[in-house]
Amino acid sequence: MAGKTVRRLLQGNEACAEGALYAGCNFFGGYPITPSTEIAETLSRELPKRGGKWIQMEDEIASIASIVGASIAGAKALTATSGPGLSLKQEVLGYACLTEIPCVLINVMRGGPSTGYPTGPSQADIMQAKWGTHGDHPVITLTPSTVPEIFTETIRAFNLAEKYRTPVFVFYDEILGHMREAVELPEQGVIEVVDRAKPEGKPEDYNPYDTSYEVAPLAPFGKGRRFHITGLNHNDDGFPTNDSTKIDEGNRRIMAKIDNNVSDIESTEEYLMDDAEVIVFAFGSTARSARFAVNRAREKGIKAGLFRPITMWPFPEKALKKAADKAKSIIVPEMNLGQTILEVERVTGHGTIVGLQRVDGEPIHPTEIIELIEKHS
């Protein structure tokens, strides 16, 4: 179906806000933090016009709690932050994982730890996305690398959150947050928008954690079904339990609903990978430098290719393993001190994996990647 498409020059953070609106986001709870603030600012203008609710909360913890609350009431809810805010939000993110409340969190990555380098880019929160909150918990993290992709991946984040009843993260670095590119904004209906399953049957029979489903339907609070939600391990009806069988079942189930659907959640781009002997594994703005480097290497007759995870978590294990089997070497540039390289090593077990790391607040330059490609071709 071809609708009317509007082409606009947008900043990454504005594209994110547009994606959220397209996906039906009708609640934003947030707090000012560089370099993500434009998401909040854009939505503070746009949401009221569309009947949505926009609240600036008093801090980062309140922001994530507000979107969990809004989502329980049936809203499609978003918050946006950066490193220090992400650290503060961790407890409630774990709560949303265990209580299976869909919500979307955007993290525009800046230098860290602590206040770090607020106006510089980084990709150093990737492991925090997976392991930030305590306990085993499901994680979906999307890592777009262009402004148009921030738009589409934000939509996909809402879809995955609704489908799997879990928090979904979109992580991109400050460069992408503030850079401007042309974005095609299609008419509503062109890109699929998923809404969470609604419960059927008698209200008194409703169980928010009904284990006969892989993902149980979530009823909005206050609309006919009375139920219990708690951050304690719980039964099918949501009430706390000390039953070790139910605790085990619940902990495994929230992981399994993601693990069993990796093929649906996974998204990667393989660029010039068919005959690639040197693979560059890169995401976010680093993948842009990597693409440039791969093209330059090809001009020089080196068979280089780019493997780009668009879904970072769950990690694209099968696709990367398959691609790596044919390769001579794998180059892993990233704006951190070696985070995704650990996963590349774990998954591929490849003998020649070379990291390229920067944590000085400057982007990784294509020439740095080209040098490594040439050295390891």
Q: Can you give the binding site for other proteins, defined by CB under 8 A? A: 31-34, 37, 40-41, 44-45, 48-49, 54, 56, 58-60, 84, 88, 114-115
Around Cβ 292, how many Cβ atoms within 10 Å?
16
- Per DSSP bridges, beta strands 53-56 and 311-313 are unpaired
Which residue pairs, CB below 8 angstroms and at least 24 apart, start in 366-369?
366/289, 366/290, 366/292, 366/293, 366/296, 367/293, 368/289, 368/333, 369/280, 369/282, 369/289, 369/290, 369/293, 369/331, 369/333
Nearest distance in Å: CB 356, other proteins: 27
Choose between 7 and 49: whose C-beta lies nearer to other proteins.
49
Choose between 31 and 281: whose C-beta lies nearer to other proteins.
31
Choose between 82 and 145: whose C-beta lies nearer to other proteins.
82
Do 29 and 70 touch, CB atoms closer than 8 A? yes
Residues in the chain, total:
377
Nearest distance in Å: CB 104, other proteins: 19
Nearest distance in Å: CB 295, other proteins: 37
Choose between 31 and 95: whose C-beta lies nearer to other proteins.
31
DSSP H or E stretch at residue 169? strand 167-173
Choose between 90 and 268: whose C-beta lies nearer to other proteins.
90
Nearest distance in Å: CB 126, other proteins: 22
Nearest distance in Å: CB 52, other proteins: 11
Choose between 58 and 360: whose C-beta lies nearer to other proteins.
58
Do 153 and 183 touch, CB atoms closer than 8 A? no
Nearest distance in Å: CB 48, other proteins: 4
Structure-derived torsion over alpha carbons of residues 241, 246, 247, 251, reported in degrees to the nearest 10: -130
**How far apart are alpha carbons 144 and 282 in whole angstroms?**
11
234 Cβ neighbours under 8 A, 6+ residues apart? 209, 228, 240, 241, 246, 250
Choose between 87 and 268: whose C-beta lies nearer to other proteins.
87
CA angle (13 as vertex; 8, 16 as ends), nearest 5: 75
Nearest distance in Å: CB 91, other proteins: 14
